[in-house]
Amino acid sequence: MGALLKNEWIKLWNKKQTWFFLGAIVIIMIGLTFIYQSFIADSTNQGEGEWTIELETEISEQEEILESGTDEEWMEAQAEQTIQENEELLEAGINPNEMNNMIFMNETVLSVASFITLFTVIVASSIVSSEIDNGTMKHLLIRPYERWQVLLSKFITVVAFSIVMMVTLILTNILMGTIFFGTGSYSSQVMEMSFHGGPLYTTVANIFPAKIGLYFLNMLMFVIISFSLSILFKSQTLAVGISIFILFSTSVLQGFSLLLADTAWYKFIFLPHLDLPAYAVVDEIMPGVGIGFSLTILAIYAIAFIGASGIYFQKKDLM
């Protein structure tokens, strides 16, 4: 089994594509840093205490709007929200404009990580199908190993690949963050916005590991889906195409979650649960649906996918 793993790892890194993916992650991260820096450059490097004055000024501005009265209801609502947020920030002692490498990491890692998901899905869906496609699978299966061992070694290789990509991303991120925004404390305070609830005031140390961990589990699920589906296809192109389609359609379909959340069956399909990083901020993504429920549903689907494709592969005739 060790030999199979080593072989898969060697094959993976002998492909140009793998190095291209790794390089792309580094370059995208560097590019994002520059974009990020140019947008927030003017609001950083304020003097100590200036940010409190700024927040207070904003509060009094909004209060004036409320006092003078306005016809637009949404303006009132927005003013009230801004006041509330600013007061909470003041109370928690969080400078919304403060920037250092840790805050930068917390804010940007996941946006680049979606490229890792894309690349990993491509690798996952081609690692089996490409070998069936070009005939090398036959030479693997006539060796003294069980078929499931061949599959498992490939699966582990894909997961290891995604970890290498993640580590590379985080290291690049920290390097760029340190160069551009200086070092900061791992327990810097941050505010997290979320689609599912109000802002959450916390520290990088509290939220970042949860975000990364949940993101990784989410990605693992995509890997399992694309890896399993690709086994059913002979053609590498078809396998990769379908996996990417599923990856993108998932986020589109999640847009319908609000409409479908009330139906009894919706929470039992895997789609809405493929948004695990949301749990870093909120407790429930739908009424009554918490992280435990989501993980259970995903685990059941994962086992079903792996089981079905594994049994299929074990019995498959390689004509």
Partner 1 sequence: MSDTVMEVKGLTKQVSGKKRIVHDASFVMNKGEILGLLGPNGAGKTTTIRMIVGLINKTEGKVFINGADLDKEGLACKSDIGAIVENPSFYDYMSGYKNLQLYARMSKNPITKERMDEVVELVKLSHAIQDKVKKYSLGMKQRLGVAQAILHKPALLILDEPTNGLDPKGIRELRDYLRQLANQGISTLVSSHLLSEMQLMCDRVVIMEKGKIIDVSNISSLSENGNSDKLIVSIEVKKEHLQQTEQVIKMVDGVSIVKQENDHMFILEMNQNLVPTLNRKLVEAEVDVYGIESKKTSLEDKFLALTSEDNVQMKEGQ
Interface with partner 1 (CB under 8 A): 3-4, 6-7, 10-11, 14-16, 134-136, 138-146, 315, 317-319
Judge residue 144's burial from the number of C-beta atoms within 10 Å of its C-beta, 0-12 exposed, 13-18 middle, 19 or more buried: exposed
Cβ of residue 317: shortest distance to partner 1, in angstroms? 4
Cβ of residue 24: shortest distance to partner 1, in angstroms? 19
| Residue closer to partner 1 (CB basis): 142 or 264 | 142
> Cα(28)–Cα(115) distance, rounded to whole angstroms?
9
Please state, in angstroms and as integers, the Cα–Cα distance from residue 303 to each residue in 125, 150, 239, following that order.
17, 18, 20
286: left (phi over 0), alpha (psi -120 to 50) or beta: beta
Cβ of residue 131: shortest distance to partner 1, in angstroms? 9
| Residue closer to partner 1 (CB basis): 22 or 302 | 22
Cβ of residue 315: shortest distance to partner 1, in angstroms? 6
Cβ of residue 312: shortest distance to partner 1, in angstroms? 12
Q: What is the radius of gyration, based on Cα positions, of the chain?
A: 24
| Residue closer to partner 1 (CB basis): 219 or 239 | 239
Token pair 């693992």 in the structure block, residue? 220
Residue 226 in contact with residue 246, Cβ under 8 Å?
yes
| Residue closer to partner 1 (CB basis): 1 or 179 | 1
Q: How many helices (H) and strands (E) does the chain have?
A: 12, 4
| Residue closer to partner 1 (CB basis): 21 or 51 | 21
| Interacting residues of 250 by C-beta distance below 8 A, sequence separation 6+ | 222, 271, 274
Cβ of residue 293: shortest distance to partner 1, in angstroms? 40
Of 290, 108, 294, 119, nearest in space to 217 by CA:
294
| Residue closer to partner 1 (CB basis): 264 or 319 | 319
